[in-house]
Chains A and B, each alone.
Chain A
Amino acid sequence: MTETSGYQRPELVCPAGTPAGLRTAVDAGADAVYCGLQNETNARNFPGLNFTPAELEQSLAYAHARGANVLLAVNTFPPAGRFELWREAIDLAARLGVDAVIVADIGVADYAAQTHPELRLHLSVQAGASSPEAIRYYCREFGVKRVVLPRMLTVAEIAALHRQIPCEIEAFIFGNIGMMAEGRCSLTNYVTGVSTNMDGVCSPAASVHYEQDARHTLTTRLGPVVIDRFICGESAGYPTICKGRYLCSAKKDAYYAFEEPVSLNLTALLPDLMRAGVTALKIEGRQRSRAYVKDVVSAFRVAVDDLMAGRDVPLAGLLALTEGRRETEGTFRSKRWR
């Protein structure tokens, strides 16, 4: 890591939903890409997404030839009796020489640490480790080298945390923002019978329904539950429970009880995050298109390089890419968001 005017040069960690997406991210300037296998061992287990073992092997060669690292997300929680699938994913990662695996489950972390001590472990955001004590537990017990922080801390808190833990910090800077603590949400399972933790799916497409009435009002449902309703012309978001509109006795009208459909965009906070000691900046979006990945990765490549060179950072281009063109700095700027 080189020091430039108080900044550490951060690693730009980018999403790769497919082999083509991986090549796009690498070509656009990603320092590292993260991806998953085509099963429930990762938290983006969507149809048409992710990698076969052969694709992973080829993608590793492509990335390594261009100086980029590949991180494999094995970051869901195997239910008892089904551990084998996760074990195979860890063995594959070790055999192919991925640069790190991103784990959340204590059992999976233990298996990886015991069986493949040379395999670098990152702690997934799905582990929900938000205090120095929790992070130190994973470092001590399994030799975790980097923690992906839950999206619940302010920059000041991240800086304080950095001084109290023996591992690197990776922080989300851009993309879809989950409102609930990752790895600790059973809302989808409550409605659909598909578990985010065990099956790797939040709000599965198979359970999503759109209904339009005669006045062109669009109702979105997850399973039997109405998530939101949009009048003609309003742009409708993908229905997830934590971004729906609800009624309650404390409110006169329907409201976004958890969060409005906004995206995270921390571009303006990049210098602060880099000064806070964040090693890696993470972009969400393995489910997004190649065009999106190319635009976002390129923009952040420029932004980070500009910052390191002491130049001003152009921000406007990224706003157009955020969900519904609306963005938030979430909890990172101030405690008032909570």
Chain B
Amino acid sequence: MAIAQTAPAGDVTLGPVLFNWTPEAWRDFYFRIADEAPVETVYLGEIICSKRAPLFAPHLEVVATRLATAGKTVVFSTLTEVMSKLDRKLVESLSDGDMVEANDASAFSFLHGRPHHIGPFINVYNERTLVVLARGGACNVCLPVELPATAIRTLAAEAQKLNVTLEVQVFGRLPLALSARCYHARAHGRTKDSCQFVCENDPDGLVLRTLENKPFLTVNGIQTLSFEYLDLSGDLATLQDMGIRRFRLSPHSCDMVAVATIFRDALDGRVDAQDTHARLEALKLEAPFVNGFFHGKAGKHWQAAARH
């Protein structure tokens, strides 16, 4: 007789699109996610550059409605870097009724005392920080990407006590740095104010290569990401064992419905870690996979899963 499993497998979530896709491509991407992707939560909103936000604004409501109608939970993500009046207005504009994910302390002013999410750009490294944020109303925290498994395990135990859910990015390029300067504009001899939206040419970021011609990083406006893609599919069982129940995919121009399905199958135990990684490899992305941060090593390190 089968015994009912009490521990849930967990949810696949979709982080905000980080790149400047054309508004139509952005809209159609989310329509397809709504219709086909096995994801529980979708994070929406421009988090890198407030200049881009008006481009997507005409489609935001219809996209949010389509996702909600399809049964997805919609969370609105705030800017990662808030300096200008435009930045501040964008953060403030998040409507009272919606669930919001804060990516900068600026958002706390508006979210304090009501349930909200904490994004991976807020430095939640330890238990005491978690306690303070929970006190302010945080109910879900997506952890910074550089945290090793040892710290995640300790945080997960604390989160359970606080009734806060933890979320961990498991797929996509790793966000590594933010700056006041727009590096997309700089690469094209422009400045942030005169950029003419050159970032729209690079749906997965602009690749920087070293002087040895080895691809190293990608630039996305003020953001710097890894060239390599994170794949924590080999560590899902460990994460589940720690009590992590939410697994975030960071969107790219590849087939994200396929990626979501691969992770859904892995979480449900339908496909083992070896085959899951093979399925991701079969997508033939432009860069190799890495998982070093989780294993307490350099982020660009790849640690193959042990064979059982």
Q: Assess the A190–B155 pair: CB atoms within 8 A.
A: no
Measured in the bound complex, the distance between the Cα atoms of B85 and A157 in whole Å is 10
Residue B180 at the chain A interface, CB threshold 8 Å: yes
How far apart sit A315 and B143, CA to CA, in the bound complex (Å)?
46
Q: Is the CB of A157 within 8 A of B83?
A: yes
Give the size of the chain A interface in residues (CB under 8 angstroms). 74
Closest chain A residue to B206 by CB distance? A248
Q: Which residue of A lies closest to B188 (CB)?
A: A250
Q: A141-B132, A151-B180, A181-B81 are in contact. List 18 more A-B contacts (CB 8 A).
A: A79-B126, A104-B123, A128-B105, A131-B87, A133-B106, A137-B108, A137-B112, A152-B179, A153-B83, A191-B300, A193-B292, A193-B301, A226-B214, A229-B211, A246-B216, A248-B206, A248-B207, A258-B224
Evaluate contact between A107 and B126: CB separation under 8 angstroms: yes
Contacts of A134 in B (CB 8 A): 82, 104-106, 108-109
How many Å from the CB of B264 to the closest CB on chain A? 28
- Residues of B contacting A11 in the complex (Cβ-Cβ under 8 angstroms): none
Q: For residue B94, give the distance in angstroms from its CB to the closest CB of chain A.
A: 12
Interface residues on chain B, size class: 35 or more
Instruction: List the A residue with the shortest CB-CB distance to B300.
Output: A190
* Alpha-carbon distance A307/B211, docked complex (angstroms): 46
Q: Give min CB distance, A329 to chain B, whole Å.
A: 13
- The answer to whether A298 has its CB under 8 Å from any CB of chain B is no
CB of B151 within 8 A of CB of A107, answer no
Asked if residues B183 and A258 are in contact (CB atoms below 8 Å), the reply is yes
Residue-wise interface mask of B (273-304) relative to A, using a CB-CB cutoff of 8 A (1 in contact, 0 not): 00000000000000000001100111111000
Task: Judge whether A247 is part of the interface by a CB distance below 8 angstroms.
Answer: yes
> A31 an interface residue at 8 Å Cβ cutoff?
no
Interchain CA distance A142-B105 in the complex, whole Å: 13
**Which residues between 166 and 212 of chain A lie within 8 Å of chain B, taking CB atoms?**
179-181, 183-187, 189-193, 195, 197-198
In the complex, whether B56 has a CB less than 8 A from a CB of chain A is no
Residue of A81, A229, A248 with most chain B CB atoms under a 10 A cut-off: A248
A107 close to B109 (CB less than 8 A): no
In the complex, which of the residues B112, B125, B127, B208 contacts A247, with contact meaning CB atoms closer than 8 Å?
B208
Report if B219 contacts A (CB, 8 A). Answer: yes
The reply on A77 being an interface residue by CB < 8 A is yes
Interface positions, chain B 113-141, Cβ under 8 Å from A, are 121, 123-133, 136
- Annotate A308-331 by CB proximity to B: 1 below 8 A, 0 otherwise: 000000000000000000000001
